[in-house]
Amino acid sequence: MQTPILVVGGAGYVGSHMVKRLRRNGYMPVVLDNLSQGRREAVGDAPLIVADLHDPGALEVLFQAYPIRAVMHFASFIQVGESVQQPARYYENNVSNTLVLLETMVRHGVDQFIFSSTAAIFGDPQYVPIDERHPTLPINPYGKSKLMVEEMLDDFARAYDLRSICLRYFNAAGADPDNELGECHEPETHLIPLVLQAASGRRAAITIYGEDYPTPDGTCLRDYIHVQDLCDAHLLALQALSQGAPSARYNLGNGNGYSIREVIAAAERVTGRRIPIASGPRRDGDPARLVADATRARQELGWQPKFGDLDTIIAHAWAWEQRLHPAPAPLRAVPAPTPVNQERRQQDRRVAHRAA
């Protein structure tokens, strides 16, 4: 019998990719999603329970119907600016609703939990790249809500022996290499799909918010991690917990920071299109650099990103954008990145970080 794994938020961006990965690896994903942001078709033929996390009755029915062995939690609100304007919404969904889920797990003896956390728990970085020893000083309600869940999990481990692995994403990006899944946020807030909307003509321009940061070209640096590599980390975390591993926290990123202008330039290479740029003021809470040190995940989980090259990440995202919204043919052919030039770009980025 296949092992049932509950995927909360499994109809969303990262969750739906994880559902596909679980099925390919012999698990039985059971999806809980209220479809406020997810898509029913994204879960394929996996069981889908349409309900809210704050409905304990629906959770009771689910846990009675399926012998859940572990839970993966992706159902969070993630917009930093919105969290500042509507903090109550974030604390209710990201914290209170997660508490309802954890209480249900304890009642049903489910003791393995994988949590989708975030680099926002660190706040303004005191150093980069950021490792797990970095102080956690979130500067917005989104980051605070995620850190609160991590702290709750520490308490649940002590009181109820509920073991958890928190995976702190830096910037999730890309799309399914098979072009079956990708980002479909409404409204879209992530940089790469916004840049590609400008490339396809669905957006007049991409706005750069702040061009006077202490970085080589004045724009913010971010660490982009392919959604498939995130799924690899979740699968490794699941396997670790199933083998009795203790609770742990891991930063997930490639260790390469790319500026906004570098992302735009890469998108122009991949798409063969000129991308219009507009200038805007700095946004509150935007650190100049956010780059991960994922050494611990590599050493303890055996995690190894496979799609670390920015051009590859953008190429997969562009294929998804083209599938949903076909655009005219590129102005010029752009060769796919080869393993050699992928590695060279990554080496160049690491050298640049050390020099910065």
Query: What is the tens place of the pLDDT at every residue in 16-47?
Result: 999 999 999 999 999 999 999 899 999 999 99
Question: CA dist 183 to 37, 171, 310, Å?
Answer: 11, 13, 17
Burial 212-222 (b: 16+ CB within 10 A, else e): ebebeeebbbb
CA-based angle 161:164:169, to the nearest 5?
165
CA-based angle 134:293:295, to the nearest 5?
110
pLDDT score at 340: 42
Residues 179-189, mean pLDDT to the nearest whole number: 86
Asked whether 144 and 118 are in contact (CB, 8 A), the reply is no
Q: What does DSSP assign to residue 119?
A: G
Residues 207-216, mean pLDDT to the nearest whole number: 95
139 vs 189, higher pLDDT: 139
CATH 1.20.1540.10 fits 4-173+225-252, yes or no: no
Instruction: Single out the catalytic residue among 27, 142, 224, 250.
Output: 142
Asked whether 205 and 235 are in contact (CB, 8 A), the reply is no
Question: Could you give the CA distance from residue 185 to residue 197 in angstroms, rounded to a whole number?
Answer: 12
Model confidence pLDDT, tens digit, residues 118-144: 999 999 999 999 999 999 999 999 999
* 104: confidence class by pLDDT, cuts 50, 70, 90: very high
Domain map of the chain by residue range?
4-173+225-252, 191-223+254-355
Beta strands in the chain (DSSP E): 4-8, 28-33, 48-50, 70-73, 112-118, 163-169, 171-173, 206-209, 221-226, 248-252, 257-259, 277-280, 289-290
Residues 166-175, mean pLDDT to the nearest whole number: 96
Query: Which listed CATH number (3.30.360.10, 3.30.420.480, 3.90.25.10, 3.40.50.10490) goes with 191-223+254-355?
Result: 3.90.25.10
Known catalytic residue: 213? no
pLDDT higher than threshold 60 for residue 351: no
* 354: confidence class by pLDDT, cuts 50, 70, 90: very low
pLDDT score at 303: 98
